[in-house]
A and B are shown apart, each in its own frame.
Chain A
Amino acid sequence: MSTTTAAVPEKLWSGGKSPFKVEYGKLMMWYFLMSDAFTFGAFLIAYGTTRFATNGWPNPNEVFRSYPFAGENANAPLVFVSIMTFILIISSVTMVLAVQAGQQMNKNKVVINLILTILGGIAFLSCQAWEWNHLFHEGAWWGRNPFLNADGTQSTTNFTNFFFTITGFHGFHVFSGVIINIIMLIMTLTDKFEKRGHYLMIEKAGLYWHFVDLVWVFVFTCFYLI
């Protein structure tokens, strides 16, 4: 019996401790995120399949070309969405800083960075709300597509259906992330983590928040760039 484990130098699988060297909750967060990645992946692949199966498709640069406070005929493709992208990247950075501050048991730094992350999340959601509202007033919604294909032919409602479903699902994740971060902020302010002696909960919230940023990288590329 003893010969079977002799070959492993670090003996991660020999029992007594987690073979993953992380805490249970964090491992489960990873598994959850993996399942969520498959959900988003299924959505995006369905979108890709439909695009590959369709002859024409609207040009994103013609659809997403406006920004807040612009006139009716604003023509600034990619500008607004790049702002949204940077907001999410920066909020991800402040989340990393919050996690690192938690590892150093630096409560004030955790609080500041969490507040910045929450503000970033709210800013992103506001941008998305504006964009949805704008598109709605252009006549786009589930089942309605006012945009023509890039070659001028009639488009199907697949474009708007996928756009609103996928960005909506992502926006719902951002919303949940903001709520989770607010809970983390309240727990930090009430010294819950100080009493526990560690800020591991922030790391789990951080993983979720980075995942939201990661998904946006894919959504942004698939809908706005390609």
Chain B
Amino acid sequence: MEHTVDAEHHGGGTKEVIKVTIILSVLTVIELGLGFAMMGMEQGSSLKLAIKGTIVILMLAKAFYIVGYFMHLKHEVKNLIMTIVVPLLLFVWFITAFLYEGNSFKHLKNTYDPYKKELSTQKAEKKEEAKEIKIEEKKKAVE
């Protein structure tokens, strides 16, 4: 009896697993490739933001394949799919609202707290110093 139930929501079997594994690996490799491509780019440039957006879309694609095929949700009945997916739609609002709020908070701080703004632009020269100290410390620690 168990067998008939299982056979009903059985996916494509091993073939499907191999297919999804390949898709997940390819998506990961593309993500990594984009990550490497992004390295030399200037902070906050629009191309970098576009690449970050692409990576997020690829991430969602990976999530779809894991949940849909590995966790078998795609082969379940519609009732179950809706029970799981509909509450998760709250995330859309959750993410939009909070990120917007964070961004707004940054602008408010930068506008009304000049000291904070100053702090976040200063110390650009200190980087090398700090790094040198760190490297020296490390060298000492190694010795």
Contact = CB atoms under 8 A, between A and B. Distances in A.
Given A41-B94, A61-B39, A82-B32, A21 B120 contact: no
B103 A52 contact: yes
Contact of B102 (A21, A50, A224): A50
Contacts of A56: 120
Given A20-B77, A54-B106, A97 B17 contact: yes
B47 interface: no
A86 interface: yes
Interface in B25-55: 25, 28, 31-32, 34-36, 39, 43, 52, 55
A213 B67 CA distance: 10
B21 A89 contact: yes
Contact of A52 (B34, B106, B131): B106
Contacts of A218: 59, 63
Interface string A66-101: 000000100001100010011001101101110010
A19 B77 CA distance: 8
Interface residues of B, number: 67
A211 B71 contact: yes
A96 B70 contact: yes
Contacts, number: 156
Given A34-B88, A97-B17, A153 B123 contact: yes
Given A48-B99, A153-B123, A221 B31 contact: yes
Contacts of B70: 92-93, 95-96, 210, 213
Given A52-B99, A139-B134, 6 more contacts: A19-B77, A89-B21, A96-B17, A97-B14, A153-B123, A221-B31
B98 A48 contact: yes
Contacts of A51: 102
B76 A20 contact: yes
A56 B123 CA distance: 12
A86 B22 CA distance: 11
Interface stretch (A128-136, A143-151, A173-181, A184-192): A143-151
A22 B80 contact: yes
Interface string B59-86: 1001100110011000011011001100
B24 to A, nearest CB: 5
